[in-house]
Structure 1
Amino acid sequence: MKGFALTVFWILFIISEGYAQTYNRHSDPKYMWTSLDENFNGSSINPKLWKPTTRFKRQLGFLIDSPKTIRVKKGNLWLTMRNAHAYLDSLWSSKGWKRDNPKYVGGEIVSMNKYCYGVFECRAKYARKSGSWPAFWLIGNDGLPCPLGPHGSEIDIAEMSSAGDFPTMMHVIHRYYPTGNCAVSNQVAKDRKSYQVSAIRAYSTYKCIWTPDKIQFFINDKLKHEVINHNYEWFPSFPLTLILSQQITQGQDAEGLLNPVTPQTSKFDWVKVRQFFLAPEITCPDVIPSEGAALLDVDPLASHITWKLTPAERFSTSEGTGKSAPIIRANNTNGQGKITYTFQMPSGETFTAEKTFN
């Protein structure tokens, strides 16, 4: 079912009216490669793809690496928030607890790779009782103007904060600005969309399409928010790390503050990233009476580049390898010809580009 759902999505995505008829070479939906395809089918997180956030305080809880907070079970990633004191002896030293005074613990995993421009999607069932704060998000820095890079960006694809029976979904773009201290930065929400969502506990698909021109946020393939880039200095434009989180926040209802409900678990069924790459472009004369050449301009990550001329009988050499292809008519034959380039991206996926000439 996972594979079928993803196949249907990509077909619908390519024909979606959300895109114009012409594309920037960095945002053509025909040219995306699968850089992450995670189904959580093992018994633990894949260390080649993910690392856990360890001993990091965020709002009411610590994010820790423990089977109590992070585990892979029944084809899902389970991220659980718990009352900290119930697990004091097994998870942390008493000295550590006393120093940081945590009340709750949660789980989070961070991608080993960074990604820039593409489609970021997951299927998840978020925990929605009071205090739950699950998120599917991206963050990173550009290293400027400080080497440690407090000047950075954050895209909250689907971040939910639960207060009582009224969870709030948020789609946010943050920008981090440096202060006088390179180790500290000021976070500013440059664009925010928030709204209440149903408390029904069901799996949903959360998706972000990020191009140089715009960022779109979807839930169950319905567009929820769109941010157009009007040459904003804060618009994300460099590789970011992908994060899955179950954090703890302060719940509240009409009568006041609520204690977080524990334990709660958010389950991630799958995560997929397809990155845009530089769409191929073929330079070739429109008319080749006897001899000419074609040259492929393609993404630097492309490999196994081959080319073929058709119909083969009209050319002295009809196939070869590399970006440059000599085009020599056989016995001065005339008529339309076509050159087709084929190449692979790091995922092993194969792509083609073609051009006709007379």
Structure 2
Amino acid sequence: MKNNNIRIKDFKAIIIFVHVLLMSSCNTDETQTVATFDNLVINEEFSTDGNLDSSLWNIETGDGTAQGIPGWGNNELEYYTDRTENLSVENGYLLITARQESFNGSSYTSARIQTKNKFQTQFGRFEARMRLPNGQGMWPAFWLLGDDNNGTEIWPNIGEIDIMENRGQQPTTISGAVHGPGYSGGNSINKEFNFSDSRVDTDFHVYGVEWGENYINYYVDDVLYNQITPEDVTGEWVFNDRSFYIIINLAVGGDFVGNPNSETLFPQTMLIDYVKVYQQ
């Protein structure tokens, strides 16, 4: 049975000192900006079996070639499909499944969904409750991408907020990052969160950001573990001047995670319990 009671708490609009005792938390002398985002505007609980809400989600397909970025710009190995073998809604969960199979010139398949032109917003709290896959070469991600003004602007100038990324071979570690002009790819501004008594592939966790003017706070299960502000980036802060949309995907291989090896078992599934967005 689904547990819908777990969510990141709302906070009053104050400046506080957060003392977090867990590993990978903020230093206790860091000043944290925390705002109130308590108006629930997206509450996607995947409640209808077999149907992904097409009024909210787009399904992206291919290997990135049609988009002008073969390998999705990261040397990824998967071909994204809209087949139920890779993307399905069952028992109140969204399942994104990576498979090892020959498909349209690729050796792996998976799925990727996003909300471009259906839900885009500036600022808010974004969170998702997930259980991640396991194994070398698995790269699950929950992230936000800036609007490209109908293709007239390009990454990284449009900005990217990575709420959660995981290397499948590291089941006790996730990371969050921002990408922008001067701090993209391997030079992103990022920080890891390490679980001391849990795993991402056997347990569900809530991953979220609170994004306001001139700050992005990163959370895991109600724990604030990082804050990024304009003073932290090495280029232009591009997160105050445009709307962003949501992306959820499970990549196979790529620069961030490395390729699968002989010990990687397939299929591997990423389970999403819910996606919620709050605004002021």
CA shift for structure 1 position 129: 2.2
| Matches of 2:190 and 2:15, distance apart in 1 | 21
More helix by share: 1
Which 5+ residue runs of structure 2 have no aligned equivalent?
18-33, 65-70
Which of 71, 89, 92 in structure 2 is aligned with 1:72? 89
Equivalent position of 2:239 in the other structure: 236
Answer whether contact 1:132 1:161 (CA < 8 A) is retained. yes
CA shift for structure 1 position 62: 1.3
| Matches of 2:44 and 2:127, distance apart in 1 | 11
Query: Radius of gyration: which is bigger?
Result: 1
| Matches of 2:263 and 2:124, distance apart in 1 | 38
Sequence identity, in percent? 22
RMSD: 3.1
Secondary structure of residue in 1 paired with 2:164: strand
CA shift for structure 1 position 225: 1.5
Q: Which has the higher contact order (CA 8 A, sep 6+)?
A: 2
Stretch of structure 1 that moved more, 201-210 or 187-196: 187-196
Q: 1:19 to 1:272 in 2, by over 3 A?
A: farther
Aligned length: 240
Equivalent position of 2:145 in the other structure: 139
CA shift for structure 1 position 168: 4.2
| Matches of 2:275 and 2:16, distance apart in 1 | 23
Instruction: Give runs of aligned pairs for residues 149-164 of structure 1, distance below 5 A.
Output: 149-150=154-155, 151-163=157-169
Answer whether contact 2:193 2:225 (CA < 8 A) is retained. no
Name the aligned partner's letter for residue 205 of structure 1. Answer: V
Does residue 63 of structure 2 align to residue 56 of structure 1?
yes
In the TM superposition, what whole-angstrom CA distance separates every residue of 1:186-217 from its partner, at most 9, and x where no partner exists? 75644111355554511001110111131111
TM-score, with length taken from structure 2? 0.74
Secondary structure of residue in 1 paired with 2:6: helix
More strand by share: 1
Q: 1:189 to 1:18 in 2, by over 3 A?
A: farther
Answer whether contact 2:41 2:277 (CA < 8 A) is retained. yes
| Matches of 2:121 and 2:6, distance apart in 1 | 23
| Matches of 1:187 and 1:143, distance apart in 2 | 22
In the TM superposition, what whole-angstrom CA distance separates every residue of 1:49-107 from its partner, at most 9, and x where no partner exists? 1011111344121111110110000100000000122xx4xxxxxxxx2xxx3111111
| Matches of 1:108 and 1:207, distance apart in 2 | 19
Which of 124, 149, 160 in structure 1 is aligned with 2:130? 124
